[in-house]
Structure formats: C-alpha cells, structure tokens
Structure 1
Amino acid sequence: MSDRLHVGYVLKQYPRLSETFVLNEILGVEQHDVEVSIFSLRHATEGRFHPDIASVRGDVHYLPVADKAAFLSAVRALPALDTDRLTEVFEFVDLLPADRRARVLLDAVDVADRVRATGIDHLHAHFLTVAAHTAHIVHLLTGVPYTVTAHAKDIYRLTVDWPLARRVARDAAAVITVCDANLEHLEMRLGPDVTVRRIYNGLGVQPVPAGLSDRTRHLVVGVGRLVEKKGFDLMLRAVARLAPELDDLRCVLVGDGDQRRALEALAVRLGIDDRVHFTGPLPQPQVASWLRCAHVMAAPCRVGDDGNQDALPTVLLEALGAGLPAVTTPIAGIPEIIEHGVEGLIVGEDDENELAAALAGLMSDDATWTAMSDSGPRKLAERFDRESTIRDLVGEFESATTGCRPRPIGAGR
C-alpha cells in the first residue's frame, strides 16, 4: 500500500461558484502530496465555474439519483461493508428529518463502498449538515475516520439541530472551524468531549496590488451572494446618501441571490439605478479585476432574521490581497480579518449613516487609504497564508489516520 495519504472530500455540491474556499483548500491539499477524491452528493447546477477547477487532479464522483436502482446497489454493497454497527447507523438515520433519511442512507452506502474499494484513508466534510451526516454513516460502515469543517449557516441559524450536530461531532476526529469567533461558539454548543480546531481559510500568493492612481475614483464594490446577511441594501442606501456630494460615485455589486430583484428595485426607488451595476455571478479572475480597480469595498454584513451570519468572508481575504480597504461590520470573525483603522474600518451593524460616513472618509483621505492598502497584503501573508493553513489542515488529517491504516472490514474493535 502507498504511504501517500488518500482523503475523500464529502461535499453537498461540487463545484460551487460561491465556495472558492473549498476549491482553494482542495488545490492546497493536493499540493501537499495528498491524493484527493471528491464525492458530490448533488450534481452541479450552476452554469459558471472558476477556471482553477481544471487544476484539481482528484476524481469527482457524483452520487446517483435515489431510485430503485440505487436501492438495489446499496443492498448489494452492504455485505462487503462493516455491518457490526448497523444498529448505530439506523439509530442515527432516525435522528434525521424523515424526508431525508432514505437519500442520506443510500448516499452513505454508495460512498462507503467506494471508500472501501479505493482505499481512502480519511474523510473530510464541509458544513456540519448533510455532508457531515453522510461522512458519519460512512465512518460507521468502514471505520475510516473523518473530520468536518464548520462554517457559518450550519452553526448560526436558529434552526440548527444541536443534538444531531453533537452526535456527528463526538465521533469526528476533529471539528475544524474557520475563525476564533466560531471556535468559541462551537465549544459552548458542542461540549467538552468534542475536539474543535481553528484553522483559517487561506489564500495563495496574490498579484501586486494596484495603487490608488490605477483605480477608479469613487467606485464602491460589493461582492457576495445577494442575501439578507450580506447587508447590500445598506450599501445601496449609503451610496444614495453620498450621491448628491459625489457626481462620479459608482457602485458595483458582484453576485446573485434571492434578493437581487429587491435590490434592483431599491436602487430605482433611491434614484441611483444609473449609478449601480449588478454584474451577476462572475468567475474568480473577473472578481479579482473588480477588486483591483475599485476605490473601496463595502461589506456591511449583519445577522439575519434566521440567525444566519458570515463567519470569515473569503471576499474580505481577497480584498486584503488586492490592497483594497474595506468598510465592514464586527460580525463573527470579521474583526480577525479587518482591524479597525488598519486594513479598513469597522462600523455598526445595520447603521447606514455610519457606513456612508466611513466610505466617504476613506475615499477622501488618500494617505489613510494608502496605509490601509499597504497593510492588507501584510495581514494576508501573516495570518491567512494558504501554505500555512493547509499544512495545519493536513496535519489534522494525518493525526486522525494514525493507527487507522488499514483496518480490514469486519475486524474487531
């Protein structure tokens, strides 16, 4: 058997344009000489993908539709798996919402069969929801250890099923999360018998940032899904407040989401629709171009009515690398990216007046802007360097597999 670590990534959907952090992580893990296989529980439905997808070397397996053929395939696969813990499997499945049980079980058996056949050493799931549920069942059926990365919507929404999350977390080799704010939240929610590690999302080496003279004055950019927690309605209201004073003020919103029509209508009502450009979703190179030509970024994140919030927005890491000062809010891990007055400005949540004043101040003070722009790449290199964060992640994978390679199916415990 090869000594090369083989990790199976369990993802709800791959690839996704909004999940650049998953793509960056997989590429980084592969660069550390880890073999990667990807299990996508759902087929990709987005029409645009990041060009770097082509650089991923690992195989991608899309799980079959949950039909009679999938059921028959699962029945045939079970005898080759570890059936000693089937009682635990069904007890866990019974904890899931009734309408998801059959699909999750069929998916898990399919993944377990491929894990057994391909000699995967470790499983890693992103989000403490269906991908983690699947990885947990695969673990019960194969003995292969697993880790889970918890992000934001999976731990902050008011509807999170914490007893179910604790069940998954207790069997995981570690629950990894992306910021210290999440770490504190998870340690409180999951209890002392769960190992939680903070490993930041990282970015690789970025191009040299554009200077102020090469940027478009008074161009404000916002990047992200057009959903409640991003606070882009506040961005539009702040732009409307500044518009009478700045004839050349322009705003670009990159992304798509369920609030797009409402935001477009708001721009019309505010009388700034001629100043606002909605680009829709864009691949990473085009996003990077906007970050390199904008004057300032607005990221007025908030806690949504459902409790959902950002944890460590990747776009703010990208802003650091692009030398683009940001005006944002103190939600979750954002202050771990942007220190007030150093790489940008922190304003109060849901405060459009403070947001407008901060944007105006940054765009009128070239000396402060330049100092913040210079600080961004330094922060990225010191705290969010992908080489360092991936090394820590691979270390967690290796620690989880120590003493676990290989374990024949059906062997005693």
Structure 2
Amino acid sequence: MFIFREIKNLQGLGLPISVYSLYGPAKNGLSTEMRAAAADVTRLGAASLFRVFRDVWAWSRRRPDVSRRLWATIPWRKWSCIEVAAENFWSFLAGFRLATLFEQDGITHVHAAWANGPATAAWVAATLLDLPFSFSGRAGDIHPQDGALAEKIQAADFVHTNNQANVDYLAGFADAQDAQKIHMVYNSLTLASRAKARVRMEPPYRLLAVGRFCRTKGFDVLLQACRLLDREGFPFQLTLVGAGFQGAYLRFLRHQLGLRARVFLPGFVSHDRITELYSSSDIFVMPSVIHKTGDRDGIPNVIMEALSHCLPVVATNISGIPEVIEDGVTGRLAPQRDPAALAEAIKAMAVDRKSALAMAAAGRKRVLAMFDPDKNSRALFELYRDDAVPLAADASGEGKA
C-alpha cells in the first residue's frame, strides 16, 4: 500500500507516472482505491511470455552489442538462492519486453520500486533505451544483497531508501562517488484516519500485531512470549492479523502452546478496515527479527500506522526501528528472538497506562513529522526533478508489507 500511496502522491504533485508490473493481476489484498486504479497498470506475467521472448530476439538484432553486454551480467551473477536467481532471470528477460513498451509509451526515466527483480528489469530496459534509471532499496530486496546490487547502484542515476540504516548499508556496495547517489526519504503515512486509540489498558489487555506471515516478522517469537504471559497469569488477548506462507505453522504453534483461547487469527484484513483494529487495541507489538540469510524489515509501516493512532508500541531493536521507537520515549524496545524480554516489555507497557499514553503521544508526534506525506512526497519529487524527468515509469513487482 505504501508504494501505491507514494505513486499517487507524486502524481498529485504533477509528476506523470506510468505503472508497469512484472506479474499478472493481483486478485486479493487490494483496497477499494487500489482496485479502482488497477486498470491503469500495464502487467506482464505468464500471459506475456511469447511477447517477452519475441522482444528478446528483436532487441538482440536491433542492439546486438548492448544485448551481448546485458547477457554477460544478470544471468551469471551469484544469487543467494535458486528462487532469487529465477526471479532475476525472469526480470532480466522481462526487461526486454518493458523496453519495447517504454519506447511505445514515450517513457524518459525508469524507476524500480524494489532493488531486486524490479530493478533488474528496469536496468535492462533503461540500458537498451539509453534512459536514466533509478531504484528504491527498502528491506528484503537488499537484505541479503542480490548478486548485482553494486552494479545497479553504479548504473543508477539515484538510489532511494527509506531509513538511515539502509543508507549506511547500501553505501557499503558503492565507491565514494556512487555513495552520493543514495538518498534517504522516509515512507509516507498511508491511513486516511488517524483517530486516537482508546487504550483502555484494562484486563484482558488487547494486544495487536499486523504483518505478512513471513520469516522476518518474528510472530513465532511473539507466540512464545504469549505462552510466558499466559503461564504467569497475565490477562491478555492477542489479535494477530495477516496471511502468508507461515500461516499454517503459526496456527500449529498457537495450538501447541495452548493459546487458542488467547490468540485470534482473523486472516488478512484490508487496508480499509485496519484502522478499526488500531483504534480498539491497547498495545501494538512488532517483534521483527533478522533471518539467518540477512533478510529483515526496514521500518515496518505498521509501526507508524499504530503510532499515528496514538497506540502504544512494543517492538524489537533491529534495522531502522530504533529511528522511530526510542526505548522509554516513544515506545518499548526488546532484543530480537527473546520471548522473555518481549513479554516483560509488554507487561511494563500494560501496567502503567499513564506512561504508555505519554510514549504513544511522543511517538505520534514523531511519526507525523518523520512520515509526513506532503514533506516526503515533495522530497521524492525533487529527486526526479533534479534528474530532469518529464515522464517516469515505475517498474514494480507486487506490493509488499
């Protein structure tokens, strides 16, 4: 959702943007506004395979030297796993198709919303057309880094990231000159409603966690922390909202830990309805972890969303999260993968409502300033304007949390 909002905000400032996706139509998880805009997205996916191979052949004849140089890059880089290699190879091929589409549509700058496959496709298309190219690097698309990240930074006119921790990380793949291309602009708040949560802080305390059910969210650690709270007789209920490949494992873990009466798994909740959950909860918990591969969150947008509702937040101290959550000031921080510490932080927040409300108010003030849509959209707009971009193309994959 935050990329969709980023695009809409830039369009509102007068930047003409055409949106292209490497994949087919999204069937689930779209807000009402996103469904209305879906018709304006040019999509590739399996239905475009014939055209992709046709354009690979056409560009190899039209620009043989450039095509040979491209074929010597992406297909032969060292990727972190087979899945990542396959994604980048598909994106590499899709770049030839995008080059044809961009030429037909009069695109003059190519931007990728993610640094992995989308940036691969954008880089290929821009190279074939001799167009300026840029990309954003945010979370799992740069952690762990893909086999061509340094080359993408070198080829890009600018690189955008959304937290300071990533600036330092990306600079490690660039020389001193290329490091100057890396710009930090925080994401913008996306929820229309910012009504303050009631935060009754009365037993049973209502805990809320939201996110994709994937390896970087640490929801298994949260369930283990809930078992400790349950054993201590701490009165709580957790609503764990989301969907993803770890869903079956989390449901099994809830059963194994004896938490069926304490933990509710309503599944995916649309962006239109999520504000209701923030408004009716006492504490928001974001137990993010760094996976053994290096994959991690940047700053989960749900933290900012929760604080924009003045909902107290407990989170882990990884990546860019401490840029928002200052322990004891704007929320509570706990070490990652430490159920006991996470449980203690939740209890400390719950038993002192006055302190929790003060931290939530300070957090709300911070996120409204750091993630202000007008300010941050203008900063992004300036990146494109400084690069003299009359028309931009956003070559993105499917949206991610």
TM-score tier, shorter chain, comes to 0.7 to 0.9
Q: Kindly indicate whether the alpha-carbon contact (under 8 Å) linking 1:145 and 1:173 is maintained by their aligned counterparts in 2.
A: yes
Amino acid at match of 1:71: F
Please show how residues 2-401 of structure 1 align to structure 2 within 5 Å.
20-54=1-35, 56=37, 59-63=40-44, 65=46, 67-76=49-58, 85-96=66-77, 103-157=90-144, 160-162=145-147, 164-194=148-178, 195-204=181-190, 206-213=193-200, 218-244=205-231, 248-401=235-388
* Higher-RCO chain (CA-CA 8 Å, sequence separation at least 6): 2
Amino acid at match of 2:328: G
Q: Kindly indicate whether the alpha-carbon contact (under 8 Å) linking 1:27 and 1:56 is maintained by their aligned counterparts in 2.
A: no
1:189 Cα deviation from its structure 2 partner: 2.4
Change (3 A) 1:388 1:57: farther
Change (3 A) 1:201 1:405: closer
- Structure 2: distance between partners of 1:247 and 1:64: 49
- Structure 2: distance between partners of 1:405 and 1:380: 31
Gaps of 5+ in 2: 80-84, 393-401
1:206 Cα deviation from its structure 2 partner: 4.0
Q: Kindly indicate whether the alpha-carbon contact (under 8 Å) linking 2:197 and 2:281 is maintained by their aligned counterparts in 1.
A: no
1:277 Cα deviation from its structure 2 partner: 0.7
- Structure 1: distance between partners of 2:221 and 2:384: 41
Change (3 A) 1:217 1:397: farther
Change (3 A) 1:55 1:30: farther
Change (3 A) 1:101 1:349: closer
1:51 Cα deviation from its structure 2 partner: 2.0
- Aligned residue for 1:374, secondary structure, equals helix
- Aligned residue for 2:294, secondary structure, equals coil
Amino acid at match of 2:150: R
Q: Deviations over 1:144-179 (max 9, x none)?
A: 21211001112222xx334x1111111101111111
Q: Kindly indicate whether the alpha-carbon contact (under 8 Å) linking 1:108 and 1:134 is maintained by their aligned counterparts in 2.
A: yes
Deviates more, 1:127-136 or 1:247-256: 247-256
- Aligned residue for 2:240, secondary structure, equals strand
1:85 Cα deviation from its structure 2 partner: 3.0
Change (3 A) 1:76 1:206: same
Change (3 A) 1:214 1:206: farther
Change (3 A) 1:25 1:58: farther
Per the normalisation by structure 2, the TM-score is 0.87
Change (3 A) 1:77 1:305: closer
Q: Kindly indicate whether the alpha-carbon contact (under 8 Å) linking 1:216 and 1:294 is maintained by their aligned counterparts in 2.
A: no
Give the superposed CA RMSD. 2.7
Identity percentage of aligned residues = 25
1:59 Cα deviation from its structure 2 partner: 2.3
1:45 Cα deviation from its structure 2 partner: 4.5
Deviates more, 1:284-293 or 1:46-55: 46-55
- Aligned residue for 2:72, secondary structure, equals helix
Q: Deviations over 1:201-227 (max 9, x none)?
A: 111564221233499850111111122
Q: Kindly indicate whether the alpha-carbon contact (under 8 Å) linking 2:109 and 2:132 is maintained by their aligned counterparts in 1.
A: yes
- Structure 1: distance between partners of 2:69 and 2:202: 59
Deviates more, 1:346-355 or 1:178-187: 346-355
Gaps of 5+ in 1: 1-19, 407-413
Amino acid at match of 1:133: T
Per the normalisation by structure 1, the TM-score is 0.84
- Aligned residue for 1:149, secondary structure, equals strand
Deviates more, 1:337-346 or 1:236-245: 236-245
- Structure 1: distance between partners of 2:36 and 2:13: 14
- Aligned residue for 1:369, secondary structure, equals helix
Q: Deviations over 1:263-305 (max 9, x none)?
A: 2222222221111111112111222211111110111111112
Change (3 A) 1:345 1:71: same
> Number of aligned pairs?
382
Partner residue, 2:399: none
Q: Kindly indicate whether the alpha-carbon contact (under 8 Å) linking 1:225 and 1:255 is maintained by their aligned counterparts in 2.
A: yes
Q: Kindly indicate whether the alpha-carbon contact (under 8 Å) linking 2:199 and 2:283 is maintained by their aligned counterparts in 1.
A: no
Amino acid at match of 2:91: V
Partner residue, 1:410: none
- Structure 2: distance between partners of 1:334 and 1:243: 27
Change (3 A) 1:397 1:386: same
1:75 Cα deviation from its structure 2 partner: 4.0
- Structure 1: distance between partners of 2:88 and 2:231: 56
Q: Kindly indicate whether the alpha-carbon contact (under 8 Å) linking 1:38 and 1:59 is maintained by their aligned counterparts in 2.
A: yes
